[in-house]
């Protein structure tokens, strides 16, 4: 398992496939394995770089204060460390926000930007939702924690068809979960309430894809519309019948959109 220590923080990463580099950026409680349904397809056409952010599963935990821009700095250092100096960025949810921060901080390193079910600002409703998740994390009760966000993240139909098996897998995955790290990641996200990205999005000039999910209760499509309207020339897709975790609920449709966009801009 390869690790690098850019910016003094030990980060777990993976490199798959060959070709132009595509960086897949995790959602807030995700890890590199969460992208399996995308990386297994994309690696046949591109080189895929995945990594766990600081405070995510296999990367170092830190007590230091940080933000999405810190993750962008970590990615810059990681890419330079492994000799990748330009890439297509694909981020979902929190990873989409990190992708936008990276594009703003290191525009010369970005070939294209794909932002999936993400936000550039946080309204009061989203702030309340994330505070619910933080309170559940502070309880350190796995069942309470998982139950608090499960119906937010997945659509009703997906839970109805996959529910029991999905919950069992999630419980296994969260057996050794670091709840303090989860709270720190949430606090980092919440900084977008007072320091939104929206006012800077017009600075992004690379080809940009914005993907929303019709049934997303966490980051509804209105947020994606803001991003698409602020980044000149961006294209937007709304995946029907999908909740926030669209990369799991509609992997074939999402992969088709991503491959079509990447081929067009490569």
Is residue 2 pLDDT above 70, yes or no? yes
Residues 151, 113, 99, 9, Cα dihedral to 10°: 120
Residue 232 belongs to domain with CATH number: 3.40.50.1820
Flag whether 171 is in a domain: no
Flag whether 88 is in a domain: yes
Separation of alpha carbons 82 and 101, rounded Å: 21
Q: What is the model's pLDDT at position 162?
A: 86
Separation of alpha carbons 66 and 52, rounded Å: 15
Which pLDDT tens digit goes with each residue over 172-182? 877 789 999 99
Is residue 1 pLDDT above 80, yes or no? no
Positive or negative, the CA dihedral 232, 237, 243, 246 is negative
Flag whether 162 is in a domain: no
Flag whether 13 is in a domain: yes
228 contacts 210 by C-beta, under 8 angstroms: yes
Number of domains in the chain: 1
Q: What is the model's pLDDT at position 166?
A: 84
Instruction: Tell me whether residue 8 is exposed, middle or buried, using C-beta atoms within 10 angstroms of its C-beta: 0 to 12, 13 to 18, 19 or more.
Output: exposed
| pLDDT bucket at 55, cuts 50 / 70 / 90 | very high
For the chain, what is the mean pLDDT?
96
* 3-class secondary-structure state, position 84: coil
| pLDDT bucket at 171, cuts 50 / 70 / 90 | confident
The two three-digit tokens of residue 99, written as one number: 């992708």
- The whole-number average pLDDT for the span 43-57 is 97
Separation of alpha carbons 101 and 197, rounded Å: 8
Ranges assigned E (strand) in the chain: 3-4, 11-16, 21-25, 47-51, 87-92, 110-116, 208-213, 235-239
Query: In the beta sheet, which residues pair with residue 24?
Result: 50, 90
Flag whether 130 is in a domain: no
- The whole-number average pLDDT for the span 122-139 is 97
Which pLDDT tens digit goes with each residue over 96-110? 999 999 999 999 999
Flag whether 175 is in a domain: no
Instruction: Tell me whether residue 152 is exposed, middle or buried, using C-beta atoms within 10 angstroms of its C-beta: 0 to 12, 13 to 18, 19 or more.
Output: middle
Is residue 163 pLDDT above 80, yes or no? no
C-alpha distance from residue 181 to each of 51, 66, 132 (Å):
16, 12, 16
- The whole-number average pLDDT for the span 34-63 is 97
Range of the domain at 33: 3-122+196-265
Positive or negative, the CA dihedral 252, 258, 260, 266 is negative
DSSP string, 165-224: HHHHHHHHHTTT--HHHHHHHHHHHHHHHHS-SGGGGGG--S-EEEEEETT-SSS-HHHH
Flag whether 59 is in a domain: yes
Flag whether 260 is in a domain: yes
Residue listed under structure tokens 């074939």: 252
Separation of alpha carbons 83 and 226, rounded Å: 34
């Amino acid at each position: 398992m390869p690790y690098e220590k850019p910016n003094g923080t030990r980060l777990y990463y993976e490199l798959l496939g060959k070709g132009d580099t595509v960086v897949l950026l995790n959602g807030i409680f995700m890890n590199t394995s969460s992208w399996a349904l995308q990386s297994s397809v994309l690696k046949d056409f591109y080189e895929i770089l995945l990594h766990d952010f600081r405070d995510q599963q296999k990367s170092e935990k830190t007590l230091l204060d940080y933000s999405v821009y810190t993750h962008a700095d970590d990615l810059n250092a990681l890419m330079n460390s492994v000799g990748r100096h330009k890439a297509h960025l694909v981020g979902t949810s929190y990873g989409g926000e990190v992708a936008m921060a990276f594009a703003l901080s290191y525009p010369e390193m970005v070939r294209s930007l794909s932002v999936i079910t993400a936000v550039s600002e946080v309204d009061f409703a989203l702030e309340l939702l994330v505070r619910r998740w933080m309170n559940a994390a502070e309880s350190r009760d796995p069942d309470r924690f998982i139950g608090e966000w499960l119906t937010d993240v997945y659509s009703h139909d997906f839970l109805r068809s996959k529910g029991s098996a999905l919950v069992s897998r999630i419980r296994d995955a969260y057996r050794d979960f670091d709840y303090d790290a989860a709270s720190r990641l949430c606090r980092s996200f919440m900084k977008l309430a007072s320091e939104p990205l929206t006012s800077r999005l017009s600075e992004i000039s690379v080809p940009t894809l914005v993907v929303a999910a019709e049934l997303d209760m966490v980051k509804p499509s209105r947020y994606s519309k803001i991003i698409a309207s602020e980044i000149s020339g961006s294209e937007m897709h709304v995946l029907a019948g999908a909740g926030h975790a669209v990369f799991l609920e509609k992997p074939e449709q999402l992969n088709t959109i991503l491959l079509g966009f990447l081929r067009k801009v490569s």
